[in-house]
A and B are shown apart, each in its own frame.
Chain A
Amino acid sequence: MRIGIDVGGTNTDAALIGDDGQVLATVKSPTTEDVTGGVAAALAGLGATRVSAVMIGTTHFVNALVEAARLEPVAAVRLGLPATAALPPLVDWPDRLRAAVEGAVHLCRGGHEYDGTPISDPDPDELKRVAADIRERGLRSVAISSVFSPVSDASERRAAEILAAELGPDVHLSLSSEIGKVGLLARENATIVNAALRPLAERTVAAFGEALLRAGITAPLFLSQNDGTLMDVDHARRYPVATFASGPTNSMRGAAYLSGLTDCAVVDIGGTTSDVGILVGGFPREAAGEALVAEVRTNFRIPDVLSIGIGGGSIIAADGSAGPRSVGYRLTSEALVFGGGTLTATDLAVAAGRAEIGDLSRVAGIDPARPLALIAERVAEAVDRMRTSAAPLPVVLVGGGSILVEELPGFSDVRRPPHFEVANAVGAAIAQVGGEVDRVFSGPRETVLAEARAEAVTRAERAGARAGSVRIVDVEELPLAYLPGDSVRVRVKAVGDLDLDKLGEAGRHA
């Protein structure tokens, strides 16, 4: 048995999945201030301790960034001089967040050209001076970036070696080559965010482990990543930024699992928003370009999600339109069916007989047909925006607010699977492990692709996938314009089943 837990902003959802893949129990409990209280309550609610693994998806780290709270000041060290000097690190950050995160900025020698030729060699003396400054300022977390590190990480590794030797094991180092892809500023931003979250990640991961122990669970703990794969606790301590978009990813993967579909649109309707994403081969389609997270431009792998302001708590205006204002978590006191005075989308669903919640008599005089049709239209338009072709596309509805929608104009196959309300926790529980390659290769196409595929498989196995279960789920080739003909950027992603034996002690949280 496995337990999947989704720690959201409002609710902590949990699901117990049997070895045959059946959903055995589910529970929803309010998320607590310290995060772990909600986890403990969810575990108690499921009542199972003899499980083989616990998977947690959490928005805790992305929330810290959004609130600009609980962040560690960072020394940003970039290797690339004399290139890149036009734009120093943190240049495009919003002021409030920059003030919370900027500890020091250092531009140093190092970095590579697109073909791996060094721009300049890292200078040990220069880096020792940087280390002295970091020590002087009392900074404990360092983000290291270098030009074209997805092609060659040699500069970043060399700098990390020197800084680690100078600063000792108590200073965290985050390397951009391990975090993002091509596009220096966005990759560097993601690395700085990661560095700022490292101490919080240590505390939170330890607290999750504590909550498990208190519930009597000794099984290994994993955290879900943006791409729907898992990382062990050691990895989670070092790469908190990889959890940022695990919420929508988990609900999409859960929707796929519960509906049995691998290629479909998923609409996760919560209290305030509806999030629309597309599943391709069982995995969320990823955003193509750069993504803004808390106004910081990053390029780590996150699912392509379109959010619209419609949810179960959406307030219905006099003209029948819904949202974007929502009563949010106060739904159970403010909605008409719960004795409140606000007409919400949930009241419409109850009036239409789509849900039996609260007191039906309180919405007796309301005609829900037109406002519900407007909601369906807007959700359908959002799904239509996200699709990549005009071919028929099944739509899976999940989330507590999905009772608002029964049919979508223009879509003939709309379904709501069993356990739809905890699809995100199910998604966490069923996650696999993956490996990805994204860099610029030169050489004959066949050789390049074979090399990239082999590397992705090796990475997946190293991350804990059972040998033989790993398959390539995505290959993308992007020839580089205005460069010699055989330079191509290749992205390959491989995933496989989690091999608990192989992980052994590595995954233990205690």
Chain B
Amino acid sequence: MDIDAGLLPAFARGCAVLGSGGGGPVRIGRAAALQALEDFGPVRVVAPGALDPDTLVMPIGTAGSAEVMAERVGGTEEPLHLRAKIEELYGGRVGAVMASEIGGANGCLAVAWAARLGLPLVDADGMGRAFPRMDQCVMELAGLSPTPAVLCDERGRTVVIDHVTGPWLERLVRAALEAFGGQAATSEYVLRGHQVPAATALGTVTRAVELGTRLPDPILTGKIAEVGPSILVEGLGPDAGRLARVEAGSEYLAVIEDGEPVAAVPDVIALLDTRTGEIVPADEVRYGLRVRVLRVPCDPVWHTPAGLRLAGPAAFGLTGLPEPVAARRTAGDGGSP
């Protein structure tokens, strides 16, 4: 599969779904990808199993505040500086890039940067969705070292972080971001081709395209009836009489109906505006919006005990939440979601 200007809208929509209400402004990421595809041509998507075992795979993304991204937009040179430093640190040439985070703006940025670098994009990513912390990724679960990790800006001002664990990487990156003006390009958890199949969320580029082409059936259709500490969705039409509570932080975290969670992090929750057909970010939910509430299963690795410790409900302060009904059915079957 190649991602070209024709496939990009579906891919970007899938990234918005997998953002679970967060992950930054997809609109800017999509526009940057479109520009790069026009300037450099389509991006080849390579299956994880088809990678040369020794090839260096560079995860890429942007860390920082959505407001800063809406203003600084992004330069053209960040991926070049990242690659040069990663090649220097790890020895050898980078053979492919991978999205650190498929959900939200970073999924689209990976396409933009793959095009600029003339490198293939691995059909996988670090999270299978969006998460707020850099260390909430499958490579961390697989025991890979996050460092040496690289942060840089568009003119090549670079910070290398080394000899730290995932949580410490997060801590040091946040500290460096302030000096960078609230936004930086990053590469962490760099890996080799042979490590990709066991240490990443697989098939997620394809999955984003599929989701963007055909959304799953909603678990509830209704209107936003209250926006407060929680979001209330009142069922409409065939769902009239139902009432669900949506918990959200930077992302949507849980959908609770009759005291029972019908969806919860680490699974993906998306709200679709039925009037515009757009995916609604968590910070743009408003009273009266007509929405479809979607649940998209996450990569099964997130339902293992270690996965839930790193990115389950408790990691987001939601305690006492039983495993969602649907997840209890599918967890442990080992198959792709």
Interface positions of A (Cβ within 8 A of B): 80, 82-88, 91-92, 113-115, 117, 119, 147-148, 182-185, 288-289, 384-390, 440, 480-484, 489
Please, how many angstroms separate the alpha-carbon atoms of A338 and B178 in the complex? Answer: 69
* 1/0 contact string of B189-204 vs chain A (CB within 8 Å): 0000000000000000
CB-nearest residue of chain A to B63 = A482
**Shortest distance from the beta carbon of B186 to any chain A beta carbon, whole Å:** 13
The count of chain B contact residues (Cβ–Cβ below 8 Å) is 39
Assess whether A388 is in contact with B75, with CB atoms less than 8 Å apart.
no
Assess whether B67 is in contact with A114, with CB atoms less than 8 Å apart.
yes
Given contacts A87-B32, A480-B67, A481-B66, contact A82 B284 (CB under 8 A): no
Query: Which B residues between 199 and 240 are near A, CB-CB below 8 angstroms?
Result: 223, 225-227
Assess whether A85 is in contact with B76, with CB atoms less than 8 Å apart.
yes
Assess whether A82 is in contact with B154, with CB atoms less than 8 Å apart.
yes
What are the residues of chain B within 8 A of A384 when measuring CB–CB? 223, 288
Assess whether B31 is in contact with A87, with CB atoms less than 8 Å apart.
yes
Given contacts A388-B227, A388-B287, 11 further A-B contacts (CB under 8 A): A83-B154, A85-B74, A87-B32, A92-B31, A117-B181, A147-B71, A185-B28, A289-B284, A481-B66, A482-B174, A483-B178
CB-nearest residue of chain A to B289 = A385
What are the residues of chain A within 8 A of B36 when measuring CB–CB? 86
**Shortest distance from the beta carbon of A151 to any chain B beta carbon, whole Å:** 9
Please, how many angstroms separate the alpha-carbon atoms of A166 and B177 in the complex? Answer: 39
**Secondary structure at chain B's binding surface: helix, strand, loop or mixed?**
mixed
What are the residues of chain B within 8 A of A289 when measuring CB–CB? 284
Assess whether B73 is in contact with A390, with CB atoms less than 8 Å apart.
no
CB-nearest residue of chain A to B275 = A385
What are the residues of chain A within 8 A of B284 when measuring CB–CB? 288-289
Given contacts A82-B154, A85-B76, A481-B66, contact A183 B290 (CB under 8 A): no
B1 interface residue per 8 A CB criterion: no
**Shortest distance from the beta carbon of A366 to any chain B beta carbon, whole Å:** 30
What are the residues of chain B within 8 A of A80 when measuring CB–CB? 72-73
Assess whether A87 is in contact with B74, with CB atoms less than 8 Å apart.
yes
Assess whether A483 is in contact with B75, with CB atoms less than 8 Å apart.
no
Q: Which 3 A-B pairs have the closest CB atoms?
A: A113-B181, A86-B74, A385-B288
Given contacts A80-B72, A288-B284, A386-B288, contact A86 B32 (CB under 8 A): yes
Given contacts A84-B73, A87-B28, A481-B250, contact A114 B68 (CB under 8 A): yes
What are the residues of chain A within 8 A of B250 when measuring CB–CB? 481
B145 interface residue per 8 A CB criterion: no
CB-nearest residue of chain A to B177 = A482
**Shortest distance from the beta carbon of A130 to any chain B beta carbon, whole Å:** 20
B155 interface residue per 8 A CB criterion: yes
Please, how many angstroms separate the alpha-carbon atoms of A440 and B181 in the complex? Answer: 13
Interface-central residue, A83, A88, A185, A288, by most chain B CB under 10 Å? A83
Assess whether B75 is in contact with A83, with CB atoms less than 8 Å apart.
yes
What are the residues of chain B within 8 A of A389 when measuring CB–CB? 226, 287
Please, how many angstroms separate the alpha-carbon atoms of A82 and B154 in the complex? Answer: 6
Please, how many angstroms separate the alpha-carbon atoms of A182 and B70 in the complex? Answer: 8
Given contacts A182-B70, A389-B287, contact A86 B181 (CB under 8 A): no
What are the residues of chain B within 8 A of A115 when measuring CB–CB? 181
B147 interface residue per 8 A CB criterion: no
**Shortest distance from the beta carbon of A245 to any chain B beta carbon, whole Å:** 19
B323 interface residue per 8 A CB criterion: no
Assess whether A114 is in contact with B73, with CB atoms less than 8 Å apart.
no
Assess whether A182 is in contact with B67, with CB atoms less than 8 Å apart.
yes
What are the residues of chain A within 8 A of B72 when measuring CB–CB? 80, 83-84, 147-148, 184
B286 interface residue per 8 A CB criterion: yes
Assess whether B154 is in contact with A85, with CB atoms less than 8 Å apart.
yes
Given contacts A92-B31, A289-B284, contact A484 B290 (CB under 8 A): no
Please, how many angstroms separate the alpha-carbon atoms of A408 and B308 in the complex? Answer: 49
Assess whether A86 is in contact with B76, with CB atoms less than 8 Å apart.
yes
B65 interface residue per 8 A CB criterion: yes
Please, how many angstroms separate the alpha-carbon atoms of A20 and B290 in the complex? Answer: 44
Assess whether A84 is in contact with B225, with CB atoms less than 8 Å apart.
no
Assess whether B288 is in contact with A182, with CB atoms less than 8 Å apart.
no
What are the residues of chain B within 8 A of A92 when measuring CB–CB? 31
Interface-central residue, B112, B177, B288, by most chain A CB under 10 Å? B288
B182 interface residue per 8 A CB criterion: yes
What are the residues of chain B within 8 A of A390 when measuring CB–CB? 225-226
What are the residues of chain A within 8 A of B67 when measuring CB–CB? 114, 182, 440, 480-481, 483, 489
Please, how many angstroms separate the alpha-carbon atoms of A185 and B28 in the complex? Answer: 9
